């Protein structure tokens, strides 16, 4: 084995072990979407309310949970973190976050920021494509996309969802038109999108635990279209909720979804800071318009703790993988998803 490879393996292993064992320091913004009681939602974007509660208890043991606005002030003030600071965010505006989350936020004294896409609040029959896509895939009927037919096997369903998501996000065609071409004959569309209503959001805004943030109107990939929705969504939220909307979340939020024009438009719309879905801790002095977050769904508390200790599961996994592969481990880690919201 080459010496440089050996060095890389040893340093990767030592880095991961030391980060996983020492008291973490940094600015961590957690990204959630939905909560469920018993059954996870088909899109895989939910975490159970019980698991969320346990994660918040663990977060309070590992660091200090603060409002996003406090964290933004600390990052802007170039204050090097003396410990782990954690801010909690929920994207999109689903109702389950109000009904299951609000009592928990109050009981655990957890301040949260909601990022709302307003079109789904204005029209409860408008179902986001990522939810409908999973609904269609669950039907078991043959599905077609661009001349290719996909059968009912798990692998084919996964492939269909991945390919359809890319088309829905990046083709530039209105997702409602794309979806119309994907629904199999006889598929019954859901009547409600499961989003909150304005009254529910007003109640949340008054609870003292929730700050409202912008997430556009229809949730487009801003590198492709919809720049005017950044300010439109902000205006709509402020009109309906009577609060100042200071923070923004880029829809989908990965690097390829955020153009320089989108960053400029968010700043111009008057947002003080904006969050992405790119993984990792934030550091003092980081760009406030491209803050990183750590994404959670499912029930993997060990991952939750590892992420909070290491700040970046992708980097942590690749370093751990580099370490393990040097010991004879095999396999490939693929932690990317095409259909996240």
Residues that bind Zn ion (CB under 5 A): 91-92, 341
Q: What's the closest the beta carbon of residue 339 comes to Zn ion, in angstroms?
A: 11
Q: Residue 123 in 3-state DSSP?
A: coil
Q: How far is the CB of 26 from Zn ion (least distance, A)?
A: 24
Nearer to Zn ion, 246 or 293 (CB): 293
CA-based torsion, 294, 299, 304, 306: positive or negative: negative
Q: Between 121 and 341, whose beta carbon lies closer to Zn ion?
A: 341
**Contact criterion met (CB below 8 Å) for 50 and 70:** no
Shortest distance, CB of residue 308 to Zn ion, whole angstroms?
A: 22
Phi and psi torsions of 282, nearest 5°: -100, 155
Q: How far is CA 55 from the centre of its chain?
A: 16
Question: For strand 294-295 and strand 26-32, is the pairing parallel, antiparallel, or unpaired?
Answer: parallel
Crossing angle (nearest 10°) for helices 313-326 and 3-21: 130
Q: How far is the CB of 215 from Zn ion (least distance, A)?
A: 6
Torsions phi, psi for 51 (to 5 deg): -65, -40
- Measured from the CB atom, is 201 or 317 closer to Zn ion? 201
Nearer to Zn ion, 92 or 257 (CB): 92
Closer CB to Zn ion, 104 or 341, in the complex? 341
For 145-167, give the secondary structure using H, E and C: ECCEEECCCHHHHHHHHHHHHHH
CB of 94: closest distance to Zn ion in angstroms?
10
Tokens of residue 213, six digits: 């943030």
Residue 151 Cβ vs Zn ion, minimum distance, rounded to whole Å: 30
Nearer to Zn ion, 89 or 306 (CB): 89
The nearest distance, CB 166 to Zn ion, in angstroms, is 16
When the beta carbons of 263 and 341 are compared against Zn ion, the nearer one is 341
**Closest CB to Zn ion among 81 and 175?**
175
Q: How many other CB atoms sit within 10 Å of the CB of residue 299?
A: 15
Q: Exposed, middle or buried by CB within 10 Å (0-12, 13-18, 19+), for 69?
A: middle
H-type alpha helices, the chain: 3-21, 49-62, 68-76, 96, 102-108, 119-122, 129-137, 154-170, 175-182, 198-206, 228-241, 260-268, 301-310, 313-326
CB of 91 to Zn ion, least distance (A): 4
């Amino acid at each position: 084995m080459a010496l440089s490879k050996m060095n890389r393996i040893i340093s990767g292993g030592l880095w991961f072990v030391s980060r996983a064992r020492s008291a973490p320091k940094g600015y961590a913004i957690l990204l959630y979407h939905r909560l469920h009681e018993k059954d996870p939602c088909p899109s895989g974007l939910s975490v159970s309310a019980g698991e969320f509660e346990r994660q918040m208890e663990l977060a309070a043991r590992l660091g200090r949970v603060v409002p996003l606005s406090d964290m933004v002030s600390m990052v802007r003030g170039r204050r090097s973190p003396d410990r782990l600071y954690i801010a909690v965010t929920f994207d999109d505006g689903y109702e389950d976050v109000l009904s299951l989350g609000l009592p928990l936020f109050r009981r655990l004294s957890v301040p949260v920021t909601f990022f709302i896409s307003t079109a789904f609040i204005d029209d409860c029959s408008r179902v986001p494509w990522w939810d409908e896509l999973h609904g269609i895939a669950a039907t078991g009927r043959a599905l077609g996309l661009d001349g290719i037919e996909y059968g009912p096997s798990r692998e084919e369903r996964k492939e269909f969802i991945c390919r359809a998501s890319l088309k829905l996000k990046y083709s530039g065609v209105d997702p409602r038109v794309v979806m119309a071409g994907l629904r199999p004959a006889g598929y019954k569309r859901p009547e409600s999108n499961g989003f909150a209503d304005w009254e529910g959001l007003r109640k949340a805004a008054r609870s003292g635990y929730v700050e409202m943030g912008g997430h556009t109107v229809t949730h487009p990939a801003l590198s492709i279209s919809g720049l005017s929705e950044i300010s439109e969504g902000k205006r709509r939220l402020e009109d309906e909720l009577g609060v100042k909307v200071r923070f923004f979340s880029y829809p989908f939020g990965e690097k390829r979804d955020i153009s320089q024009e989108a960053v400029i438009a968010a700043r111009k719309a008057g947002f003080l800071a904006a969050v992405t879905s790119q993984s990792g801790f934030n550091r003092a002095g980081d760009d406030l318009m491209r803050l990183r977050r750590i994404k959670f769904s499912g029930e993997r508390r060990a991952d939750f703790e590892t992420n909070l200790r290491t700040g970046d599961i992708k980097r942590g996994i690749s370093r751990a993988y580099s370490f393990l592969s040097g010991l004879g481990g095999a396999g490939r880690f693929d932690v990317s998803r095409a259909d996240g919201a």
